[in-house]
Structure 1
């Protein structure tokens, strides 16, 4: 998998810029986003013809007055109790979408775990480690990035835990 220099030259998204700066190899994967799609992640898996277990969604949660990030496969749900425990908290609730957009700098449906405006404690569901590569949002709807899960952990500073159900 070769890193795309096109996105680096064009300025890319904050996610591609962060990956380029970190020297991470990734493949940009674009598709035509359907504005009527009800699940952005499942839309990406279908449009890119990729197993939904390899396509990950980025979800923001509120824990103990702060925010954290959970990254789970798009066909599964975030286990709020498990992500709270992984973040060292007793309780987690989903963050308001407006807050998620403001804090990350991305729109809902295009929130990337990479290149967020503010680094947040991040947990990757351990199931991602079973794959050679996974896909995450590249920072806008219709644009994903394919990379090794170990690189995702490294660039986001994520821990791993069983946080999906």
Structure 2
């Protein structure tokens, strides 16, 4: 099945923010070897990456989706460009390059397994003689993804603080 890429129109059937060709070009430019991956595998990884972006960032994004029927979180209206100063917003008829790159970075990490880890119990204490193990209360077992967080940071809604006078 061919990958359906969001084109900035708020597609109801979009599955990713970047094409297979975009994935390959990004990897080539950064010396990342993708040659062992078939196009169908890259498509699946890009779908997983887009799914992860929705799971991890949806509730924290600034602005709003341009359509209630769109499958993915971009395009968005009312998402401010903090690096442009003043009241400048990302184009509501496109997907920012950072979002496409975050999709690729998530896809690259998906090669190593599930991006969203279930909660489990981490070992708090381990005793080797007479084998004793103590588990932490439920904690996240997986690692974070600072590169993806950094790419998505400009799109996070600002924290609002209420100060009473």
Shared topology, TM-score over 0.5? no
Taking structure 2 as the reference length, what is the TM-score of the superposition?
Answer: 0.30
Q: Which has the larger radius of gyration?
A: 2
Q: Which has the higher contact order (CA 8 A, sep 6+)?
A: 1
